[in-house]
Amino acid sequence: MHIVVSWLILSAAVYVTASTLTGFHVKDFKSAILVAGLFGILNYLLGGVLFVALGIATLGIGFLLGFLTMWVVNSVLLVVTDKLTDHLTIDSFGWAMGGALMISLLSTLGNMLVGMVF
C-alpha cells in the first residue's frame, strides 16, 4: 500500500510541477501517473548507479554533497523519462533541473504529510 500512496504523491508532484513550470509539460493527470511510474522505475534501477558514478567522477565531492548529486541524477533521469515517453516534454536540461527540484520538494512534503496522518 505504501508504494501506491508514494506513486500517487509523486504523480501529483509531477502534475503540479508541469502546471507551474513553463518548460515542463505533461498532457494530463493520467500522463503524470505514467511518467511518475516510469521515473520511479528508472530511479530504482539507475539512480544508485548514477549517484555512485558521479560521486567517483567528482573524486568523492559528490558523496559529500549528496543532495546536489541526487538533484543532478534526478534531472538526468527526468530527461531519460522524457526520451522514453511522449507523455512528458522537457524543453531543456535547465527545466529538468527545476522540475527535479520541485518534484523532490513536493513529493517529500507529501510523504511527510501522509506519514503524519497515518
pLDDT of residue 55: 94
Q: How far is CA 43 from CA 12, 36, 81, 116, 118, in A?
A: 17, 10, 10, 25, 25
Helix axes 93-117, 66-84, angle to 10 degrees: 110
Q: Residue count of the chain, please give it.
A: 118
Phi, psi of 73 (to 5 degrees): -60, -45
pTM over 0.85: yes
Handedness of CA 9, 11, 13, 16 (dihedral sign): negative
pLDDT of residue 22: 97
> Which tens digits make up the pLDDT trace of 31-44?
999 999 999 999 99
Q: How far is CA 2 from CA 9, 59, 74, 100, in A?
A: 11, 36, 21, 22
pLDDT of residue 1: 85
Q: For each of the chain's 118 residues, which pLDDT tens digit applies?
A: 889 999 999 999 999 999 999 999 999 999 999 999 999 999 999 999 999 999 999 999 999 999 999 999 999 999 999 999 999 999 999 999 999 999 999 999 999 999 999 8
Burial of 22 (0-12, 13-18, 19+ CB in 10 A): exposed
Q: Locate cell 543532478: which residue? A: 72
Are 29 and 15 in contact, with CB atoms under 8 Å apart? yes
